[in-house]
Chain A
């Protein structure tokens, strides 16, 4: 007796590629899935491909004159190394740092910039850093588990104080603010953060040299030094150190030094004394 296996045939033979796979049934709104036999495996591979890309060092800290934001510029894909801009200018008074997938960070920061501008137009007032970071965190949370890789810090200077009632969230501060937001949906408010594979190295130098009452020059130098030390020890960080300062007027780029040059600047080559000098042997 021939078994009726028509129920086991897949729909894909009946529909053209690109059509909704479900066919006649009304499908819930969803994005197109890639043509792959093993979709779960594909998603896992995609996530794994982006994971090691958090090879970077970025840091930011608040001090009395604003926020310092510093980052390296190295991006590597396997054995190939190149340089990218890791500090993203969301708008003239807010900066974002990039760690993780470059495309993810650039796209979502640009998207955040759009939303911030829309907020300004709708409310006739700049959005606070609290609000902007919450917008980004909610977006990233809704894509949880789908393979986004974003480890970013949102730094800016707020111009207004917004109070809310006692039960609910704290008020937005007048002055500098710094938030850490990642693709797992976490959002932390703080005064010092470092993100990326080189961050433990950067934290050491940053924590030790940090004081709230640093001058702008000292703070820029601290950021630069911390990134330099991280690039020295971490293979996935390097290139050029960029340091930005966010003050009441907005952000300003301060330095963009190559770490190789910085190394010889901090640790110049000292001709070492010769212990034993070879002398020409007299005679044959």
Chain B
């Protein structure tokens, strides 16, 4: 029921994740941000067991930061993806992490890229990818409407189409989604798509 998908456009990469934290039949919260900012130009969208998801992505984030402190330059997206895959592979036969990851990044030399890394440490560099039950609906939508070099507006339009399809066809569809984008200006949150709003809390 955790839906994560993403695609690469013209000079940017977008990742979308649902925001429900679920425990059997109960939804504990519907505004849980599952897309972590790895560094200034990288995003990691993760789905899987809740403890593993947070612990693993934080571990990757801290190691990426450590590399930058030690060496003075940030890792490339490809290097970060290979590091992530390596950690999953090493842990696989001892203490596996049940986390599926979409790693999106922007490098000055090579432009935007998206890596599909699943919990058994498979890695592919892809133009579009998806995890979870939502993938059954979003992958075909993206296959049909995707073309290389999409603009941000076209990509967001495709993302909204996928979200609508997931909402209408998936039996336990998550109500809210978060969209984050990474391009030459960095990694940042683009929008939320909410259909269930929590009780309003005045911000601190």
Residue B26, interface by CB 8 Å: yes
B39 to chain A, nearest CB (A): 6
Pick 23 A–B contacts, CB within 8 A, sort by A: A137-B51, A140-B51, A141-B55, A167-B37, A167-B40, A167-B61, A168-B65, A175-B204, A185-B50, A185-B51, A185-B52, A186-B50, A186-B54, A187-B54, A188-B21, A188-B29, A190-B28, A199-B26, A200-B25, A200-B26, A211-B199, A212-B200, A212-B201
The reply to whether A191 and B198 form a contact with Cβ atoms under 8 Å apart is: yes
Let me know if B204 and A174 touch, CB within 8 A: yes
Q: How far is the CA of A143 from the CA of B92 in the complex (A)?
A: 17
Contacts of A141 in B (CB 8 A): 51, 55
Which B residues lie at the A interface, using CB under 8 A?
Answer: 21, 23, 25-26, 28-29, 32, 37, 39-40, 49-52, 54-55, 61, 65, 198-202, 204
Give, as a whole number of angstroms, the nearest-CB distance from B99 to chain A: 11
User: Is A157 an interface position by the 8 A CB rule?
Assistant: no
In the assembled complex, which residues on chain B have CB atoms less than 8 Å from the CB atom of A188? 21, 28-29, 32, 50
Which residues from 162 to 207 on chain A have a C-beta closer than 8 Å to any C-beta of chain B?
166-168, 173-175, 180, 182, 184-188, 190-193, 199-200, 203
Of all chain B residues, the one with the shortest Cβ separation from A212 is B201
- Say whether B202 contacts A184, CB under 8 Å: no
Counting chain A residues whose Cβ lies within 8 A of the other chain, the interface size class is 20 to 34
A44 near B: Cβ within 8 Å?
no
B199 and A212 form a contact (CB under 8 A)? yes
Q: Beyond the given A193-B28, A203-B26, could you list 14 further A-B residue pairs with CB under 8 A, ordered by the A residue number?
A: A167-B37, A167-B39, A167-B65, A168-B61, A174-B204, A184-B51, A185-B54, A185-B55, A186-B23, A186-B50, A186-B51, A187-B51, A210-B199, A212-B200
Q: Is A253 an interface residue (CB 8 A)?
A: no
CA distance A180 to B26 in the complex (A): 13
Q: Which residues of A contact B37 (CB under 8 A)?
A: 166-167
6 interchain residue pairs of minimum CB distance: A185-B51, A186-B50, A190-B29, A186-B51, A184-B51, A188-B21
Instruction: List, in ascending order, chain A residues with CB within 8 A of B50's CB.
Output: 184-188
CB-nearest residue of chain B relative to A169? B58
Measured CB to CB, the closest approach of chain A to B15, in angstroms, equals: 17
With both beta carbons as reference points, the residue of chain B lying nearest to A137 in the complex is identified as: B51
Give the CA-CA distance A203 to B199 in the complex, in Å: 14
* Cβ-based interface call for A144 (8 A): yes
Q: Contacts A167-B65, A199-B26 given: A212-B202 contact, CB under 8 Å?
A: yes
